[in-house]
Structure 1
Amino acid sequence: MAIWIWKRRRQKAARKYPVPLTMHQLWMVSLSAPVNRDRDASRTTLYPFTRIDDDRAGRWLADQWEIASRDELVGRLDGLARTGYRAGARRRLGVEPLAWDAGLYVDITRRGFACGMLGEADAWTALKNIVPAVVRSYASWNEYAEHYLLGRMVWRENLRGTPDAPAPQAVSDAHLKSLLDPANRASPWNMAPWHAISHPDHTR
């Protein structure tokens, strides 16, 4: 006799957070779009997944960043905002790929919100804090993508020979190409053009 195991599907994030993001909010969330390549990643909500999975967000922060408390989360964000990985890249390459640190910063903030370490208002405040530096550094999503790839390349080189080998660079390249494709209607970078953050905010 066949035994059927029924597994409850997790609630959709869009159902729990039904109010669409404003243009500025989507733009800020989109800074982490290069980081989030998984099929279940949400790129149009503050919540990082398409379905609610708070425990997963907490486990990821603990496993990948050794973050287990709000204080540790805030400390990590402060480090990424101040120097991050770009300090090492500057010594090696003479440039500072802020985009890599900004993408990680936003990704960590969103996961911190998902697991309850940050309230929604605090999460948006954290995202707003990184915006001025990003806007000063880049003039388009293309420039942002180029520096993200540069930062990732330096990060990958530092991990050579370790058991935590990252995905091949080609995977990240393909993902960014999709985000930059003008025909990709699902790309948040097409939904929130780069210069939108410099104009008054509005609903979408």
Structure 2
Amino acid sequence: MAIWNRRKPKATRKYPVPLTMHQLWMVSLSAPVNWDKDASRTTLYPFTRIDDDKAGQWLADKWEITSREALVRRLDGLARTGYRTRALQRLGVEPLAWDAGLYVDLSRRGFACGMLSEAETWTALKNIVPAVVRSYASWNEYAEHYLLGRSVWREGLPGPRDANFPAPQSASDAHLKSLLDPANKSSPWNQAPWDAISHPDHAR
């Protein structure tokens, strides 16, 4: 069998209808979380190709989430307090952006592996929007607080800070710089400007 026949189908083939401007904006809250080549930033499905098992395995390995109930509890925790409580104690600020990025990322992966329906996932994303809009006025501000929250998370990780330490800060910095680059036409932050969520929704 030819190798291309064994490749998983593209997510855009299973979900061909483009996201509206509001939908893309909500999905874009998780844009900083993954810079993997197979990550999709313009579909509700988190990968460029359909891989439901990968989504479920990631939730189990990284978050110990193996059921819908566990996912809902984790999402509720991120929405209510998340890592920003620790950041407030240490830094005097609450970087909601880090928690919001994780919240949207987990919701999308939960959708991919069948723990959430598509309608439930959109409802979950809509629930986080008001707090995010109240907290920030631009993608630049959102990115700054995302990095702030990420730094607090990294400090809480176990193990030595050596060359094998996961999630290098330099990679995250470079990814965010790319997302914010006005010349990057593929950046969802350029496709869905920050103030788009405050205007009537429309097709792109």
Cα distance in 2 between the residues matched to 1:162 and 1:29? 33
Instruction: Identify the range of structure 1 (101-110 vs 155-164) with the bigger mean alpha-carbon deviation.
Output: 155-164
Cα distance in 2 between the residues matched to 1:147 and 1:80? 15
1:5 is displaced (CA, Å) by 7.7
Instruction: Name stretches of at least 5 consecutive residues in structure 2 with no aligned partner.
Output: none
Instruction: Establish whether residue 123 from structure 1 lines up as the match of residue 121 from structure 2.
Output: yes
Which residues in structure 2 correspond to 1:8-157 (within 5 Å)?
8-157=6-155
Once the two structures are superposed, residues 162-186 of structure 1 have per-residue CA deviations (whole angstroms, 9 ceiling, x without a partner) of: 6993221111000000000000000
Cα distance in 1 between the residues matched to 2:191 and 2:132? 18
Instruction: Establish whether residue 177 from structure 1 lines up as the match of residue 169 from structure 2.
Output: no
Instruction: Name stretches of at least 5 consecutive residues in structure 1 with no aligned partner.
Output: none
What SS class does the counterpart of residue 50 from structure 1 fall into? coil
Q: Which residue of 2 aligns with 1:194?
A: 194
Aligned positions, number: 201
Counterpart amino acid of residue 169 in structure 1: Q
Cα distance in 2 between the residues matched to 1:50 and 1:5? 21
Once the two structures are superposed, residues 137-160 of structure 1 have per-residue CA deviations (whole angstroms, 9 ceiling, x without a partner) of: 000000000000000011111115
CA contact (8 A) 1:159 1:165 kept: no
Once the two structures are superposed, residues 112-158 of structure 1 have per-residue CA deviations (whole angstroms, 9 ceiling, x without a partner) of: 00000000000000000000000000000000000000000111111
Cα distance in 2 between the residues matched to 1:167 and 1:132? 29
Report percent identity of matched pairs.
Answer: 81
Cα distance in 2 between the residues matched to 1:61 and 1:160? 19
1:59 is displaced (CA, Å) by 0.1
Counterpart amino acid of residue 184 in structure 1: N
User: TM-score w.r.t. structure 2 length?
Assistant: 0.95
